[in-house]
Amino acid sequence: MTSTYLCSGVTWHGTEPVLVLREVPSEPAGDAPDGELGLRDVSLASGSRLGFEVVATGRYCLGFHRVHGRDDRTWVPCVDQAPAARSHQCGRCFAQDDVRFMHDIHRSGIAPAGLKRYLDQPHWLYVATFADGSTKVGTASDPRKRGRLVEQGAVVAQFVAHADDGRVVRILEDEVTRSVGLPQAVRSATKAASLCAPLPLAQLERINDGFALASRGLLQGGVDVEGFEVVHEEFEPPSSWSAVLRYGGLQPYPEPLERGQHGFVLREVLGSSAIVAIDGTDLLFVADLAQLKGRRLQFGDFSTRVPAVQEALF
């Protein structure tokens, strides 16, 4: 019998991107430990082939996290294997998730003890720019400083502040959003689409420089909070990303990834956006693999349909 997996999305282990999967048990998981749930990482290395079928409609709950400290957390599967009601969680799991307090603790002061211990470590404030010039402000804990930007797919980024803890850095983040106008999120679909027509790298650097300069200026004189210092540090993306930006004629992936059968060869991955080759055509496509998060998948020798794509393009 073919196993079914619940996809948790794309992550990076050092320089290698992987698709994170957990086997869907035949019965509700209950309180089974994480290690018994068929954890599997599928490599997204250049040259590898990925073939899968989306076997259910909609997204399913990815469970929730218990945070115990700075580098200690437990993933708890959704006991009901329920459809996702908001983002990638059902209502029951969202209500139990320690991480949900993270974005409001600097205003409310309310959070579980483990999350407070996690936030009680240095954090970084960054300004990240993507291939079409879209720019955001964001935060990362000290151990996740570079990995956060790699997973987000930032083409150019700078760290603009180093804060004593996670509460202070979120105050700074809100101030930059309010005064500089930078959002705190850019949609994965926007990031993927931007790779089909990226701006020149020099222009992206100028855009990022402008927002980073404005953010540092604000932090140096317009924020009434202690516990941070302004910094000037550039993010160094993986060396493979320069190859992605040099591709010409990239096309949007021709089929919706949230349903149907798909199969392609991976050329490069930038964040969660993949440059892929489809059998039967010399064209290269950009696939937003973040669309697979929360989907149920089965793997096999599948291929993405080509004829309709070629008719649309030519």
What is the reported pTM?
0.90
Question: pLDDT tens digits for the chain (314 residues)?
Answer: 589 999 999 999 888 999 999 998 876 545 444 444 577 899 999 999 999 999 988 999 999 999 887 777 888 999 888 999 888 999 999 999 988 877 777 776 667 777 778 788 999 999 999 999 999 999 999 999 999 999 999 999 999 999 999 999 999 999 999 999 999 999 999 999 999 999 999 999 999 999 999 999 999 987 889 999 999 999 999 988 988 888 888 999 999 999 999 999 999 999 999 999 999 999 999 999 999 999 999 999 999 998 454 444 44
- Convert 153-185 into a string of H (helix), E (strand) and C (coil): CCCEEEEEEEECCHHHHHHHHHHHHHHHCCCCC
pLDDT tens, position by position, 156-171: 999 999 999 999 999 9
CA pair distance 16, 44, nearest whole angstrom? 7
CA pair distance 166, 199, nearest whole angstrom? 33
Of the candidates 49, 18, 51, 13, the residue with the CA atom closest to the CA atom of residue 269: 18
CA pair distance 310, 314, nearest whole angstrom? 6
Q: Which residue has the tokens 């409310």?
A: 108
pLDDT tens, position by position, 115-157: 778 788 999 999 999 999 999 999 999 999 999 999 999 999 9
The SS3 of residue 18 is strand
Chain centroid offset of residue 104 CA: 20
CA distances (Å), 200 to each of 127, 147, 156, 311, in order? 18, 24, 11, 30
